[in-house]
Structure 1
Amino acid sequence: MKGQRGFSIVVATFVLVVLGLLGTYMVRLSANQISTSINALQGARAYQAARAGIEWSIARIANGGNCSDLNTQTAMSFTGLDGFSVRISCSSQTYSEADKTPTIYRINALSQFGSYTDTDYVAREIEVSIVN
């Protein structure tokens, strides 16, 4: 029995090291999951901000506006979009078909949060075409 002296200290140290490494791994994994969740939420908010810009543009065109009205609004700030900016660009082209002359509008909305070099930067872009 004298040859096994101190063996329990070695086993206890090994178990503590393994548990410490496992704990560190779990903390890092949790932090990554939280970061991913926050980025997904910000991406969804950016998409909704861009969609709000598209719908605002469509409403302006439906009420007699045109692309020059939209292009002068380079950055908008909607209520409730804390920190998001929305840039609208529009182009239009008129066609002649029989006795009608429809105008096709191509509207692009780019929503951004933060600046490109920031770690929490997010952007979403939506483009639609409508006939008026």
Structure 2
Amino acid sequence: MSAMFHKRSVKKAFEQGIRMRNASGFSLISAIFLLVVMAGLGAVMLTFTSVQQTTSTQDLQGTRAFQAARAGIDFGLYQVLAPSATAVCGGAASPVWSGSLAGFQTTVNYACDVFTEGGNTITVFTITSTASAGAVGSPHRVERVLRATVSR
């Protein structure tokens, strides 16, 4: 009885070995599949993070460009409304900024119309301030344009 028991156990062990070898190939394929999926997810997350950072930087630069254009409007209003006004119809000025606006080039243009009303001469100035940073055609270029109208 012992020899017969031994034959059965050897046969059973041999069949289990064949099954184990077949299963080990499947786990290798599963491991490779999981590795590829995880690498793909990592690449997507890296791209997403890069786009988020670029968008955030562009938003900040756009805000700075708006503030530079706004400072240009204030500069232009001062040039028009100051007691010793220096603004010339059709003229332009390029104030230089410091601090966080240092990288922006701002151009302030003055256009004007002169009207006579009831014996009074009224000059209506249209001040256009354009602030920009970055090379034209560059994806990092930002530009903002503001206009204000004032009469004197």
TM-score, normalised with respect to structure 1: 0.90
2:96 is aligned, of 59, 77, 82, to 77
Aligned-pair RMSD on alpha carbons?
1.8
1:70 CA drift (Å):
8.1
1:96 matched to 2:116: yes
What does the per-residue CA deviation read over 1:78-129, in whole Å, with 9 as the maximum and x for residues that have no partner?
A: 2222210101111111112224322110010110102113332111111111
1:38 matched to 2:57: yes
1:113 is aligned, of 116, 124, 133, to 133
Task: State which drifts further: 116-125 or 60-69.
Answer: 60-69
Partners of 1:110 and 1:41 lie apart in 2 by: 17
1:5 CA drift (Å):
3.0
**C-alpha distance 69-98 of structure 1, shift in aligned 2 (>3 A):** closer
Partners of 2:73 and 2:96 lie apart in 1 by: 13
Query: For residue 47 of structure 2, what is the amino acid of its counterpart?
Result: R
Q: Between Structure 1 and Structure 2, which shows a larger proportion of helix residues?
A: 2
What percentage of aligned pairs have identical amino acids? 28
2:71 is aligned, of 52, 56, 66, to 52
Larger gyration radius, structure 1 or structure 2: 2
Q: Which runs of 5+ in 1 are unaligned?
A: none
Residues matched between the structures, number: 131
The higher relative CO (CA closer than 8 Å, separation ≥ 6) is in: 1
**C-alpha distance 76-50 of structure 1, shift in aligned 2 (>3 A):** same
1:125 matched to 2:148: no
